Structures are given as structure tokens and as C-alpha cells.
Amino acid sequence: MKIDRITCRVVDFPLDREFHPAWARGRNQPNLLMVLIEVDTDDGLTGIGAAHAGLEAAVTIERFVAPYFIGQDPMHVESLVPVLRDTEILGAPVYCMETTLWDIVGKAAGLPVARLWGGYSDRVIAYCATAEVRSPAQRVEDVKRMLDEGYRAVKFRFHLPDPLEDLKVVEAVRAAVGDRIEIMVDANQAGVEPGHGGHRAWGFAMALTIARELQRMRVRWLEEPLPRHDYDGLRRLRDRLDTLPIAGGEDNHGLHEFKLLIDRGCYDILQPDALLSEGVGQMRKVAALAEVAGLEVAPHTWGNGIGLLANLHLAAAIPPRSAERMDRRGARPDAPRAARDRRRGLCSGARTSGLRDRARRGAHRALHSEHAYDHRRRLIPAPPELEDDATRFDADTHHFHGVARVPERAATLQLELPTVPRARQHGRFLVDLH
Ligand SMILES: [Mg+2]
């Protein structure tokens, strides 16, 4: 089998209302961008993937990936992975391309990828992660609705000018519903937004102050309390805490850096993303490193349903400490939906993480979604015989390609880049690397 064509389409999904992500204060995000990737083979199979990105990812694939993938056997995934790693030297990270290869492997084998990887479980627990800053009173109402909808865990964003004010959300929710819901907190300090006029940068002292308060309030984890390369700071912070796990990794890249994060003792919970930080198959290696180091892996997802599915397959394949479950019900309270995508299930804006309690806390594993769950109800239908708060991840029927792949009319903007063969044909090839 040979790859004979790669097509990238940049798709723009307008959101159905204003969206002010907590991690980018002052920004009204009008849309979700994705790049739909189709890898065609000479025997008729097509691998589907998606980038949580725009034109930069499509151009990168065109320039730095397609010339090396065309003509190669897509079943030899490991032989093609180095191309994706080297691509990041000069281009945008496009680890998402590995998803297309595994999709082809799954289709050729007639098995879901999670099963090919030795699938451990078919269930995950969902938690509802919020994306905007809201008042304590609003969050109490949000959480009550989440509980009614079946959620058993929620993640809040801490982004107020005074982070001590953010604590009032956790205090209010604890006072209102007690321990009926697990609480996680994401500070989003790993990326550049705090340094670009976005939310407040914490620093070590503030991170420690907040972490100790969250520990006192029995918070499940604190996510990204410091910059992603502050390995020493993360380790020092972790060393000064007793029961509060530190989570992160969505902004770190590459298998080698995840090994570094483990070796330096930065996190209790690693959160690589199959579209952003490593290839989905390589994330299994991260999971193996984490397993022997006694750490958890909670795959991160943001931006589109294909990425959600890729991370779901990983979550279903790596060995958890008990059953996985995923809540099927409810809608995330504070993020708009990509209007057309709502029907197509392509760009759900879903954020997914798996978590496993530490052994001392009793084991379970969760997978959470940040956005509207009707996407996932569509993507991952629940057999009616399951209990109310659980959804079965049916790996038998959901390959990577188990999502709608008809984005044309879903987009307000669609840009198709020339593939390598067609580019040659039309003389539009950007840079011929052969
Ligand atoms: Mg995060």
C-alpha cells in the first residue's frame, strides 16, 4: 500500500455567540479553525485526521510532510514518525498527521485502533471543564445543572487579576454541593497568553499560595500553574504539596520533552494532546514512561471532534487502574458551539482529558469534555442498558474515521491547498523538496 495523495482543507466554523476564553482575556473568539486532512492510498483507503490550527498547519503539511509521505507505505507508521518530528524544526507542529496513518491501519485491519493497541477499557468518566470566567454564584448554578446532567467532576479557570478572588468559586461550589462533585483548576500559565497582555502571570509564590488553598479544599488537580519550561519551578512546587496533584503538558512537545518532564519530576499528571504535542501513537510511549514512573496520563483535547476521537482511542488503549467511563449528557455551560459543526460532529471544540486517581485516593479514570456533549452523544452513542451517568466508548464501531467528514457546507471559509501530485500538475507546488 502506498500513499498517493494528501489533501488539506482549512475549515472555519463560526461560533453561535461571543466566546471569551479565560486564557486570553480581552479576546472575543469568533470561530474555530481546523484543517481536515485526508490521506488517500493506492488501494482506495483514506486516512482522516485534523489539525487544531489554520493555514499554517496546511502549509506545513504541504511543504514538509507530503513530499516525504507520498509513495510511502502508511502502515509503516514508525518509519514516518521522524518526518513529523523534523517538521517542527521549520514548520508548525503537525503531529496530527499520525492520526491519519493509524486510521488507515485500523481500516486495513478491520479493527478499531484502540483494539489494535490492546484496548484496555471502553468506558471513561466525563468531567465538565469550563472555559470562561464566571462569578461564584453563576458557577454554583452551573454546577447544580452539571450534577443534574450526570457530571461528577468539573474544571474551573483561574484568571482574575487577583487569583485569590478565583478561590471564591471553589469555596462557593464546595459550600453549595460539598463533595458531590470533583473540582479541578486550570491556571493556563504554560503558554504565552499571560505575557501578551492576557491574564495575570502567577509566578512561583502565587502558584504555591493558590495550590495550598486548593489542596485545603480537596481539589483534584491544579493544571499548568507555571510556564511549561519552568522545570525547576514545577518540581519545587510539586515537592511542597502533599495531596494536590500538578497537571500539565498540553503545551509541551515531543516524546523527548515528555521524558524530560518525567525525569525532572514536573507533574503528577501528564496531558499530551494527539493534535498538538505528540502523535497519538507516540503518546502510548509517553504513557509507558509515565506508567513506570508512577504518573498518570490524561490526554488533552481541544478544537475538533476528530482530535477528540483520537484521544479517546488512546485513553481506551492505555492501562488504567480501573474502568473508564464517559458522561454522555449535558452541555458545557459557557462556551458557544460551532453552529454548523453541531450537526456534523467535526469541530466540537471538545477538550478531553483522562485522569486516574492516585492509588491512595482510590482508583478511577475520567475523561472530560469541555464543550457541548451533543457532539459526543452523536460521536459516541451510549447503549441504553448502561447506567445513567456512564457512556460506553464503543471501540468496536468507532474507528478514527467514525466521524462525519463532510465539512464543505459547514465552513464559511474553505481553502484547499494543492497536494503534491496535483501541485506538480498545476505548477503550484510551493516548494519542491525532492
Ligand atoms: Mg489546560
pTM of the model: 0.78
Give dist(CA 207, CA 22) in Å, integer: 17
> Is residue 364's pLDDT more than 50?
no
Q: How far is Cα 289 from Cα 232, in angstroms, rounded to an integer? A: 20
Whether residue 131 is predicted with pLDDT greater than 70 in this model: the reply is yes
How many Å lie between the centroid of ligand 1 and the Cα of residue 164? Answer: 19
Task: Name the β-bridge partners of 31.
Answer: 14
Distance 186 CA to ligand 1 centre (A): 6
Q: Measured in angstroms, how far is the CA atom of residue 371 from the centroid of ligand 1?
A: 13
Distance 359 CA to ligand 1 centre (A): 23
| pLDDT of amino acid 321 | 39
User: Closest Cα to residue 411, out of 361, 344, 357, 355?
Assistant: 344
- What's the mean pLDDT in 295-322? 79
Centre of ligand 1 to C-alpha 355, Å, is 13
Return the pLDDT at 347: 28
Average pLDDT over the chain, rounded to an integer: 76
Cα of 158 from ligand 1 centre, angstroms: 11
pLDDT tens-digit map of 143-187: 998 888 888 889 999 999 899 999 999 999 999 999 999 999 999
pLDDT surpassing 60 at residue 286: yes
Please report, for the chain, the start and end positions of each structural domain, with discontinuous segments joined by +. Answer: 3-111+405-426, 116-392
CA of 63 to the centre of ligand 1 (A): 30
* pLDDT score of 124: 64
**Closest residue by Cα to residue 370 from 10, 19, 18:** 19
Q: What is the largest CA-CA distance in the chain?
A: 66
pLDDT of residue 81: 97
Residue ranges near ligand 1 (ion) with Cβ within 5 Å: 186, 223
How far apart are the C-alpha atoms of 150 and 309, rounded to whole Å? 21
- Cell numbers found for residue 178: 460539598
Question: CA-to-CA distance for 315 and 124, rounded, in angstroms?
Answer: 8
Please provide residue 48's backbone torsions phi and psi, each rounded to the nearest 5 degrees: -110, 140
Percent of the chain's residues with pLDDT above 70: 71
Cell of 143: 454546577
The answer to whether 111 touches 402, Cβ cutoff 8 Å, is: no
pLDDT for 155: 92
pLDDT for residue 388 is more than 50? no
Q: What is the pLDDT of residues 63-105, one digit of tens each?
A: 999 999 999 999 999 999 999 999 999 999 999 999 999 999 9
229, pLDDT greater than 50: yes
Q: What is the 3-state secondary structure (H, E, C) of 216-282?
A: HCCCCEEECCCCCCCHHHHHHHHHCCCCCCEEECCCCCCHHHHHHHHHCCCCCEECCCCCCCCCCCH
- pLDDT value, residue 416: 53
pLDDT confidence bin for 427, thresholds 50/70/90: very low
CATH superfamily of the 116-392 domain = Enolase-like C-terminal domain (3.20.20.120)
Domain 3-111+405-426: what homologous superfamily?
Enolase-like, N-terminal domain (3.30.390.10)
What per-residue confidence (pLDDT) applies to 228? 95
In the structure grid, which three cell numbers stand for residue 279, read together?
502523535
Cα dist. 233→206, 236, 246, 257 in Å?
12, 5, 12, 16
- Distance from the alpha carbon of residue 252 to the mean position of ligand 1, in angstroms: 12
What tens digit of pLDDT does each residue of 195-214 get? Answer: 666 678 899 999 999 999 99
Position of cell 519552568? 230
Q: Is 281:102 a contact under the CB 8 Å cutoff?
A: yes
Higher local confidence (pLDDT), 138 or 428: 138
Centroid of ligand 1 to alpha carbon of 106 (angstroms) = 29
Q: What is the pLDDT of residue 167?
A: 98
335 C-alpha to ligand 1 centroid (Å)? 15
Question: Which of 225, 295, 283 shows the shortest CA–CA distance to 253?
Answer: 283
